[in-house]
Chain A
Amino acid sequence: IAGITQAPTSQILAAGRRMTLRCTQDMRHNAMYWYRQDLGLGLRLIHYSNTAGTTGKGEVPDGYSVSRANTDDFPLTLASAVPSQTSVYFCASSVARNQPQHFGDGTRLSIL
């Protein structure tokens, strides 16, 4: 079934460790996005990519980096995790940036 796959589904991580959240889509969508969802704040955009080879900063980019080496993959890296990065992370994609986004099922990340 076509869609977005996120891995891992959940992770507990010690503060200071490096972590990469994986996101793969098989819909050949051009645009991809990373959001974090926190209670009372909804979804906030971390980084986005309108097409392979390009990335941009969202609303809350600090402490996170992304890369878009090809169309299908859009990994999100926390170089040195901090407890405030405890959240549920959603990856999304869209055919183009003016189209609705399709979301993965999320990664629940806890930083201790």
Chain B
Amino acid sequence: DQQVKQNSPSLSVQEGRISILNCDYTNSMFDYFLWYKKYPAEGPTFLISISSIKDKNEDGRFTVFLNKSAKHLSLHIVPSQPGDSAVYFCAASVTFNKFYFGSGTKLNVKP
């Protein structure tokens, strides 16, 4: 059974608007969370991370929010750009041991 779930396989957003990608997890012991972006025929690239001691981490247009009580993670992209079109994976680990990935959400940002 998957411990990290991304229930939306795809998301379409207009350029300039906000993109919100969601991730849910079941293991309450997870204490480190990451988001990766993947373009076709390339490996995933690291985007942003958050430790369980925080509830928000910001890096430029990208912000990750963590709601531990709901076991929910979200990535906000503001403003969205066509170059952001990619598959986004969330991942989680317990004290940096094995990393568990979600199934990914394909974001399409329309010009």
Contacts and interface: CB of A to CB of B under 8 A. Distances in A.
A104 B43 contact: yes
B99 A45 contact: yes
Contacts of A40: 103
Interface of B: 2, 4, 6, 32, 34, 36, 41-46, 49, 89, 91, 96-104
A97 B44 contact: no
Contacts of A58: 98
Contacts of A102: 43, 45-46
Contacts of A35: 101
Contacts of A92: 43
Interface residues of A, number: 23
Contact of B44 (A41, A43, A44): A43
A4 interface: yes
B102 A100 contact: no
A90 B96 contact: no
A83 B10 CA distance: 28
